[in-house]
Chains A and B, each alone.
Chain A
């Protein structure tokens, strides 16, 4: 630890303690984001050229699509979210990161786990449960890494100098508690050698998927936004009471959703899920009110910067939540079932909401943490507009295509081939959205990696200067 603790400012101290951990987490996340989008594009190529991967098992749709989803969620979303969580907890507690080496180890374990899991999926080693495809070895690594980071976050929180709690604390700690809980439950009960029987498997699978993809990302994303928005807008969060309401309703109603209507399970399960889904409208409204009240009137000139990212992310969250509610709406739910509407909602949740909030946070925190400006600030802004276009082009056509598909699927006179043909155009448009997102992700990766390299060069220069500094004349031999 730093021996001159009293001499340097707390900010510099906090930033220095976070530097290596965050670079390890964000660097890995950025690479996995690019991998995820590449795999996503490979998967959608099936709908352009069905025979493309006929002789190559690893890249057919059934392999590439789950791999792309997992790379996005486990590779990018979770580690990047964890990095931002560590930063927020250190900043809010006004304390340097406790155990600064642990997150670095955890980040490497995590990346190894994702790598093993993805290679496994591409070669057929998948569990067959959506969002839980990773093999056992990979799940153990991910779980261990997560616990390590959660412990670091807890220790940092325990050592905080600023005792006051912020609403972001509730959201982020709930997320740190909830992931190990659901991940362990799902992995232990759906284990390949001694699983639960019959349809209990998909029930637990749906519960896990909804709680990870919707509730967990919502907790982290909104937690980050509730910290970032007031910070950037330089005004308090409006108000703590609303935030508490949004928090409790989100975890209570959100965590009960996820069982689709019409599933071959006892009828009480989808019914409970449906009621919870209808009540999910409450946290959505509360979040919208909080954000509008906090943001409106703030004089922040931020064209494509972190503020724009965060606001767009919250907007996407509201829309994604409404799509979730629409999927359980009594009269129209059957239309969306088994169509591209579901994937559209998931992509909006992950890429439109979560990823945008994380991008905003990273662009906001990185210059401070690294103590140097972003190498390409203009590319960061370009990234915003590319992401904006990408999300719109990916999600809107998929959602419209899904609705058309759903309406036609329910007309038994239209053959399945015709149903598919009518959605093909929308699906193909969504591929261009993926291309935009990929370009944006490359810019994000470029900023992070150039910054890392600059920092390493600077470190090396300092070390080199120390080594090559001329020795005092008295020590120089003649």
Chain B
């Protein structure tokens, strides 16, 4: 009997240890998480959602969207890239020769192929990537070298990986992205695309509505079920409703009818458009691309 009690206590301790480790410790570490500063900016992240988007999160929950969609972009790593933005007093051909001369130097031998391939057919267009997928130290060294040669260069930090290459996001998802979510629905299956950054990727509300009403109208051969119950097909009254969804011909309702989203559909789209994990943070750095006017 004594061994029985001993085993029971050992078991309770073993089970309790996981409770302390995976429930108590994360609560203490992250339970009081606050807004995080955006890198190189005075802004704080994340921004509270609008009322409709917050309601939309509940539509997302109630319809079990997380059964097929994740909200977590992953990356394989972060790298630096140095690109040439100005030649200064040099000529393009001079620079070409300069780049080729670097190949023979032992410290640039690792970048042998890039330096060669990138500059063979280069006709002087700027900006031109000099080295990519490198660490900070090497990038700085190259930047110094270019500066010494009288050229202008830019060093960019970027995340890479298959999710990033698919355009699902610009950096991996981090804890701060989910500060305002309740419930937090990270999802575990990608039967559909990742949605962590869908508000940036597909910012058109009408396309989102089309996609909910008839997924194959937007994505061919989509396996997503249609969510027609979030819409109302009704007779056009005196004038067409301003919120009616414009649909391609084969998905449009009969003549004289229009498809009007119910409030749930609008809120859900507001929520989807509020998914914008696109600012650099301390634990997920990258250099934002500033769109040139």
Residues of A within 8 A of B (CB): 46-47, 50-57, 60-63, 65-66, 124-130, 163, 165, 169-170, 173-174, 177-178, 181-182, 185, 189-190, 192, 195-204, 206-207, 211, 244, 247-248, 251-252, 255-256, 258-260, 262-266, 269, 272-273, 334, 337-340, 342-343, 405, 409-412, 416-417, 420-421, 424
Question: Once bound together, how far apart are the Cα atoms of A330 and B211, in whole Å?
Answer: 37
With A251-B15, A265-B26: A61-B68 Cβ-Cβ less than 8 Å = yes
A222 CB to closest chain B CB (Å) equals 14
Partner of A255, one of B1, B15, B30, B165: B15
With A178-B15, A266-B30, A416-B193: A126-B23 Cβ-Cβ less than 8 Å = no
Q: Does B149 contact A (CB under 8 A)?
A: no
Partner of A256, one of B10, B21, B70, B192: B21
Q: Considering only CB atoms, which chain A residue lies closest to B11 in the complex? A: A174
Partner of B4, one of A66, A169, A190: A169
Question: Once bound together, how far apart are the Cα atoms of A251 and B22, in whole Å?
Answer: 14
Q: Report B148-167 CB contacts with A as 1/0, cut-off 8 Å.
A: 00000000000000100110
Q: Considering only CB atoms, which chain A residue lies closest to B26 in the complex? A: A203
B58 CB to closest chain A CB (Å) equals 9
Residues in A with CB closer than 8 Å to B14 are: 248, 251-252, 255
A36 CB to closest chain B CB (Å) equals 16
Q: Could you jot down 13 A-B contacts, CB within 8 Å? A: A47-B223, A128-B183, A130-B188, A174-B8, A197-B32, A198-B30, A252-B18, A255-B18, A272-B22, A338-B70, A338-B188, A410-B162, A420-B223
Do A61 and B67 touch across chains, with their CB atoms under 8 A apart?
yes
Q: Report B55-88 CB contacts with A as 1/0, cut-off 8 Å.
A: 0000001111111101010100000000000000
Residues of B within 8 A of A (CB): 1, 3-4, 7-8, 10-12, 14-15, 17-19, 21-23, 26-27, 29-33, 61-68, 70, 72, 74, 162, 165-166, 172-179, 181-193, 215-216, 219-229
Do B224 and A124 touch across chains, with their CB atoms under 8 A apart?
no
**Count the A-B residue pairs with Cβ separation under 8 angstroms: how many?**
216
Do A262 and B226 touch across chains, with their CB atoms under 8 A apart?
no
Do B19 and A185 touch across chains, with their CB atoms under 8 A apart?
yes
Question: Once bound together, how far apart are the Cα atoms of A198 and B4, in whole Å?
Answer: 41
Do B229 and A55 touch across chains, with their CB atoms under 8 A apart?
yes
Partner of A259, one of B22, B30, B179, B221: B22
With A126-B64, A198-B33: A50-B22 Cβ-Cβ less than 8 Å = no
With A60-B63, A177-B12: A202-B184 Cβ-Cβ less than 8 Å = yes
With A124-B62, A255-B15: A198-B189 Cβ-Cβ less than 8 Å = no
Question: Once bound together, how far apart are the Cα atoms of A125 and B14, in whole Å?
Answer: 35
Do B18 and A338 touch across chains, with their CB atoms under 8 A apart?
no
With A251-B11, A269-B26, A339-B190: A417-B221 Cβ-Cβ less than 8 Å = yes
Residues in A with CB closer than 8 Å to B182 are: 192, 195, 201
Do B183 and A60 touch across chains, with their CB atoms under 8 A apart?
no
With A61-B68, A177-B15, A272-B21: A264-B177 Cβ-Cβ less than 8 Å = yes
Q: Considering only CB atoms, which chain A residue lies closest to B188 in the complex? A: A342
With A128-B185, A190-B183, A269-B26: A63-B64 Cβ-Cβ less than 8 Å = yes
B33 CB to closest chain A CB (Å) equals 5
**With A62-B63, A198-B30 given, can you name 9 additional A-B contacts, CB distance below 8 Å?**
A60-B227, A165-B1, A200-B31, A202-B178, A204-B23, A251-B14, A256-B18, A264-B72, A338-B190
B7 CB to closest chain A CB (Å) equals 5
